[in-house]
């Protein structure tokens, strides 16, 4: 299943939970062993696998052991201009230093 804009955030959460569970089981690890390796409580692992609910920090901790932390590098990356026009427009835009509320 590819993750794209057609899936809701809840569907993405469920998909990531399924992928984590598959990675854990492929390693032959119980939830107890995964909890020891990741530092994420076993009850949180159970909730993640069944409901898709987990904190970002704990999710990153799971990815450190069972996934690839490098995938986070591109999550909020700037879009690369695809045309000369987009490149010229991007060149003229001032870079924002901070947000406003």
pLDDT exceeds cutoff 90 at 98: no
Q: Please tell me the CATH code under which domain 9-92 is placed.
A: 1.10.260.40
Question: What pLDDT digit, counting tens, does each position of 20-57 carry?
Answer: 999 999 999 999 999 999 999 999 999 999 999 999 99
Q: What is the pTM of this model?
A: 0.73
Q: Where are the domains of the chain?
A: 9-92
Is residue 96 over pLDDT 90? no
Task: Specify the pLDDT at position 56.
Answer: 96
pLDDT given for residue 5 in this prediction? 67
Average pLDDT across the chain, whole number: 88
DSSP letters of 9-46?
HHHHHHHHHHHHHHHHHHTT--HHHHHHHH---HHHHH
Residue 12 tokens, joined:
């993405």
User: Which residues have CB under 8 Å from 87's CB, separation 6+?
Assistant: 81
């Amino acid at each position: 299943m590819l993750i794209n804009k057609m899936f809701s955030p809840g569907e993405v959460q469920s998909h990531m939970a399924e992928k984590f569970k598959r990675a854990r089981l492929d390693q032959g690890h119980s939830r107890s062993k995964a909890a020891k390796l990741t530092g994420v409580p076993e009850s949180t692992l159970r909730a993640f696998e069944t409901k898709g609910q987990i904190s970002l920090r704990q999710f990153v901790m799971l990815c450190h052991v069972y996934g690839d932390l490098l995938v986070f590098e591109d999550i909020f990356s700037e879009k690369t201009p695809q045309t000369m026009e987009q490149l010229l427009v991007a060149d003229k835009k001032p870079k924002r230093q901070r947000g406003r509320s």
